[in-house]
Amino acid sequence: MITYIARRLLLLVPVLLGVSVASFGLLQLVPGDPAIVLAGQEATEDVLAQIRHEYGLDQPRPIQFVIYLRNALRGDLGISIQSRQPVATLIAQRFPFTLRLAFLAILVSAALGVVAGVVAATHRNSVLDLAALLGSLVGISMPIFWLGLLAMLLFSVRLQWLPAGGSGTLAHLVLPAVVLGASSSAVIARMTRASMLEVLRQDYTRTARAKGVDERHVVYRHALKNAMIPILTVFGLEFGYNLGGAVLTETVFSLPGIGRLVVEGIFARDYPVVQGAMLVVATTFVLVNLLTDIAYAALDPRIRYD
């Protein structure tokens, strides 16, 4: 197990290098000059040249990337062009909020998706099955920002049950977590249904029924446990997608997370902020997938990482 974890951590290096190259290259294609954004349209050329020199923007792009990579290896993600604060400090202030939001969203998606998938599998071709399939189709198809606006209109404007935005209490996270988890729950529901249908056809489930085991025990103690391996894989992937989906959710609900920080950085041409945020999100994504692989062995004793 330790050898496997060490090997996976070594594979983290080329992944993060690829993310760094991709984020740096894509940001260079964005039109606009960070110096003009910072100094204003009326700034003189001398002021703009001074700002470009201060942030290293006057260097050739390969040299800029090498300098960025060298500093990142030392834990220095640079200085924000917009706020002039260390990027690591900004991310440390915003990222915990996004992690809480993603964690609550995956709890919502697990509760909705697993229950809907189990019900659909145990009532195949019934009204409940068709309702679960239709709900999952709507959840996958509906954009997050549109679902967020509808949720705000209903629960915040019409019913006035929950705040429409901001942060500070758990109530501020309810709507964003439900909206962010809705799409994930649809994917989890479809995977749970497919996995449960396959397991319910296995010989050991038929044997358990033939021995007179209660149907609830057959479904939840025998079938669901053995169907959790592919479902757990979706959990890990959806948690990483929730970190990415938080960009839209945090923008719609005005939440102080890393997703909104990235949006603000893109509008301000704040290259260090966007690059640092993408690097942290990619690292978290890879680590979550590693934890998911390790959890396989806890669910299925037959799985060994030798």
Q: What is the pLDDT of residues 245-273, one digit of tens each?
A: 677 788 888 888 888 888 888 887 777 88
Q: CA-CA distance, 129 to 67, in Å (whole number)?
A: 56
Q: 159 and 64 in one domain? A: no
Beta bridge partner(s), residue 79 = 86
pLDDT cut 70: percent of the chain above it:
92
Are 172 and 36 found together in one domain? no
Q: What is the pLDDT of residue 157?
A: 83
Residue 303 has pLDDT above 70, yes or no: no
For residues 1 and 271, which has the higher predicted lDDT (pLDDT)?
271
pLDDT at 305: 55
pLDDT per position as a tens digit, 68-118: 788 877 877 878 877 778 888 888 888 888 888 888 888 888 888 888 888
pLDDT tens digits for range 29-76: 776 667 776 666 677 777 778 877 777 777 777 887 888 788 877 877
* Mean pLDDT value across residues 129-158: 82
Q: Any idea which of 28-32, 131-135, 237-241 has the lowest mean pLDDT?
A: 28-32
Amino acid at 75: G
Q: Which CATH number does the domain housing residue 198 bear?
A: 1.10.3720.10
By three-state DSSP, how is residue 79 classified?
A: strand
Residues 46 and 107 in one domain: no
What's the helix, strand, coil split of the chain in %, to 5?
A: 80, 0, 20
Nearest-angstrom CA–CA distance, 23 and 15: 12
Query: For residue 141, is it within any domain?
Result: yes
> Smallest Cα–Cα separation from 115: which of 197, 189, 223?
189
Whether residue 59 is found in the same domain as residue 106: no
Note the pLDDT of residue 298. Answer: 67
In which residue are the tokens 């659909």 written? 120
> Are both 287 and 242 inside the same structural domain?
yes
User: What range does the domain containing 28 cover?
Assistant: 16-73
What average pLDDT does the chain have? 79
82 inside domain: no
What pLDDT, on a 0 to 100 scale, did the predictor assign at position 253? 82
- Separation of alpha carbons 9 and 4, rounded Å: 9
Q: Is residue 135 part of a domain?
A: yes
Q: Is 86 helix (H, G, I), strand (E, B) or coil?
A: strand
- Residues 145-170 have a mean pLDDT of 80
| Same domain, residue pair 173 and 249 | yes
Q: Is 117 within 8 Å of 190 (Cβ atoms)? A: yes
- The count of domains in the chain is 2
187 part of a folded domain: yes
Residue 238 tokens read as 């959806």
Cα separation, 5 vs 286, whole angstroms: 12
- Nearest residue to 6 (alpha-carbon basis) of 228, 301, 290, 292: 290
Assess if residue 83 is contained within a domain. Answer: no
Q: Distances in Å between the alpha carbon of 75 and those of 63, 78, 111, 117, 302?
A: 18, 9, 38, 43, 40
Q: Within a domain: residue 167? A: yes
Do 68 and 180 lie in a common domain? Answer: no
The stretch 208-236 carries a mean pLDDT of: 76
Write the DSSP assignment of 90-122 as a string of letters.
HHHHHHHHHHHHHHHHHHHHHHHHHHHHHHHHH
Contacts of 183 (CB under 8 A, 6+ apart): 109, 139, 140, 142, 144, 147, 245
Q: Is residue 175 part of a domain?
A: yes
Compute the average pLDDT of residues 218-233: 77
